[in-house]
A and B are shown apart, each in its own frame.
Chain A
Amino acid sequence: MSSDIAVHDISKSYRIGGQVNGTLRERIMEWATAPRRAMRASAPSIWALKDVSFGVAAGEVVGIIGRNGAGKSTLLKILSRITQPTAGKMQVRGRMASLLEVGVGFHNELTGRENVYLNGSILGMRKREVDRRFDAIVDFAGVETFLDTQVKHYSSGMRLRLGFAVAAHLDPDILIVDEVLAVGDAGFQKKCLDAMEGLQSGGRTVLFVSHNMAAVENLCSRAIWIDGGKVRLDGQAKDTIRAYMESIAGESAGGTELSDIEHRIGDGAIRFTRVEYLAEDGTPCLLTRCGEPLRLRLHYRAVRTVQHPSFGFRLLTGLGTLVTESYNLLHGTVVDRIAPGVGYIDVHISSLNLLPARYWLSLWITDEAGSHVYDGDVRTVLEVEPANIFASGRLPDARQGIVFFPQVWTQPVSVSDA
């Protein structure tokens, strides 16, 4: 069956502030005390998507890229009918399956076998279909021996493999995939990518959202760049990715102003204003070299008192692969409160074990639980320069991977002569 998607001027607004999840008691009180105001009550809203239009032809594999909070997830949710657009309409021809997360609906108390049936059914498969593909699913996931073990005893990797295996055996005309490839070990990632390529050659229509630019470039012929809720660019995957990467590379190392970064998320109670790269002695460093100590000085401005904030950063490669994420609480530094005003917090990195390349730092501040975001997706470039770190005269380079471990090689020890 041929399939296609047509999206016409889809917009989606979310209310901000106000009480999204208030209590009924509050609502009743509101109506009782100030009925007029309650009637007019229109909390400010933001447009997560605004007038997005595009078409996808049958068999096309399209990547959707953009920063966090740009509206990609909202778009996927609308396409997969999880949420409804505020305005606009879309037309979908063909059977569609969406895969925003693997293993949705898995129940810990049930066995692997039972969860395959449950998950298959949640994804829209008939029992007969699951029956028919059961062996292939189990084979793909590689969990034969644990089929009758409760999923709660599974490792997260096994869970994930089983979830993806079920999803990979769906047989839709249109598949919507979000980022599921960003997880799992290298071997399994390869398997997933192969499965995705199988999709491509199988003539299915695929919409693929990812931060992994390499994967998008590999899999997709076309890419749509969503920025600030709008389609910024829609074209050949290679061109779109290049334009996207260039747009977020407007900054330089040393000290970078962060106040004017747009498209950040969070309520703004406290925001990053500047990041400085300092040497151990506190002087600004012009070059951040691999293997050297580095002090990140994160300047912030708080507009109100913030209790128990959690400062954190994610370090990403130029292609968007997460290298590491870290935050103060993880290292046992508890910040009681931040009073309104400006200040900074330092992160001492004893050795920057990154191979030379351009990286992204994405900064965030949340509450202690990480559920409420004050500031987030604040991206800045971290350019790591080569250095003679091994004192061997040979410089490490990006072809050797992403990180290096401090290490010592011994001379060969001869155990016995021939």
Chain B
Amino acid sequence: MTSTDPFADTVLSETPLLPAASVLRPGKSKVSEALRELHAYRELAFFLAWRDIKVRYKQAVLGVSWAVIQPLFTMVIFTILFGRLANLPSDGLPPAVFYLAGLVPWLYFSSTVTNASMSLIGNADMLTKIYFPRVLLPTAVAGENLVDFLIGTVIMALMAVAYGVPIGITWALWPLLMVPLFVLSLGIGMILAALNVRYRDIRYVVPFGIQILLFATPIIYPASLIPDKYQILFALNPLSGLIEGFRYALNPTSMHWDLFAASLATTAAVFFGAWIFFSKSERSFADHV
């Protein structure tokens, strides 16, 4: 009998639910309160990411193999097309490793931005039925994609070893560089997710934008190929410096530190802007979605 009584359980709970005292005034939200709330809801971000990973890898064969096939096949095509046929330079790295080192972060970026941009409208029922910090939805996507990134990293490392790329201390930069990449992808994903709630055509623009960006970023070519006078323009794309950083981790010979510094600065600016834009728009998500 007692077990069927849902409220017999009187153990004190540490439920976050909602903060002990919350005053809501339209148009006001404090940073500290937002952070406290995020902390209280951190498990939900984890659970949302876990849900998507679970669902994705439930069809185990397709799920895991996709994470392997995607970077591997793209790399093979790039190697043949751009390495062999177009004879683009690969900055002293074996072409296979060169392309993988660009592709693994790139695939993380593109799938995080694409999926995060759909994360709000894809969970409309949650937005209209329950309160939680909305930013958790795109964040969960960025977290979920780390699994693919990890798998891609392992493939790349194996390839690098197989091609005789010397293992060095700079390899440790690889996971560190993940931090700005995560922040950048999430920031752009957040902006697009918020816009997607308001404007129906965003979802068609995103894949197109991603495609353009692939060519505007040193994935299929090294940054050194860009003439000096265009370097400034090039530096506006925060992905450029990050991708160069990922390559530097494997091949610590030359590095465009200025490009890298510009990338970090732009990344921080993008994320800051995204945070403000998202907080401003999230008030009306439930009304529009």
| Cα A129 to Cα B15 with chains together (Å) | 8
Flag whether B61 is at the interface (Cβ < 8 A): no
* Residue of B27, B55, B123 touching A109 (CB-CB under 8 A): B55
Count of interface residues, chain A, beta-carbon cutoff 8 Å: 64
Q: Interface readout for A363-381 with B: 1 if CB under 8 Å, 0 if not? A: 0000000000000000000
B43 and A127: CB pair below 8 A? Answer: yes
Q: Interface segment, A88-96, A207-215, A262-270, A299-307?
A: A88-96
Query: Is the pair A124, B17 in contact by a Cβ cutoff of 8 Å?
Result: yes
- A94 / chain B contacts, CB cutoff of 8 Å: 20
Q: How far is the CB of A111 from chain B (nearest CB, A)?
A: 9
Closest Cβ neighbor of B204 among chain A residues: A23
Chain B residues within 8 Å of A, Cβ to Cβ: 3-9, 11, 13-18, 20-27, 41, 43-44, 47-48, 50-51, 54-55, 58, 123, 125-132, 195, 198-202, 205, 283-284, 286-288
Given contacts A20-B288, A122-B130, A124-B16, contact A105 B125 (CB under 8 A): yes
B58/A109 in contact, CB under 8 A: yes
A125 touches B15 (CB 8 A): yes
Give A179 Cβ to nearest chain B Cβ, in Å: 12
* B residues near A189, Cβ cutoff 8 Å: none
A139 to B68, CA, bound (A): 42
CA gap between A227 and B41 in the complex, in Å: 36
Q: Does A114 contact B (CB under 8 A)?
A: yes
A82 & B44 in contact (Cβ 8 Å cutoff): no
Cβ–Cβ contact B15 & A170, under 8 A: yes
Cβ contact within 8 Å between A132 and B11? yes
**Is A136's CB under 8 angstroms from B200's CB?**
no
Asked whether A202 lies within 8 Å of B7 as measured between CB atoms, the reply is yes
28 contacts between A and B (CB under 8 A): A21-B198, A22-B198, A22-B199, A23-B201, A25-B201, A81-B22, A83-B286, A92-B24, A95-B15, A95-B17, A95-B20, A97-B17, A97-B18, A104-B125, A105-B126, A107-B55, A114-B51, A117-B47, A124-B44, A124-B132, A125-B15, A126-B14, A129-B15, A136-B9, A168-B7, A170-B15, A170-B17, A198-B5
Partner of A83, one of B47, B58, B205, B287: B287
**A80, A86, A171, A202: residue with the most chain B Cβ atoms closer than 10 Å:** A171
Q: Does A24 sit within 8 A of B, measured CB to CB?
A: yes
Q: Name the 9 nearest CB pairs between A and B, nearest first.
A: A24-B199, A95-B17, A23-B201, A168-B6, A124-B17, A121-B47, A81-B131, A83-B286, A84-B283
Contact yes or no, A92 B21, CB < 8 A: yes
* CB-CB nearest in chain A for B201: A23
Contact A140 B4 (CB under 8 A): yes
B284 pairs with A84, CB closer than 8 A = yes
- Given A81-B18, A110-B51, CB of A122 within 8 Å of CB of B9: no
Contact check, A124 vs B18: say whether CB atoms are below 8 A apart. Answer: yes
Contact assessment for B130 and A104 in the assembled complex, using a CB-CB cutoff below 8 Å: yes
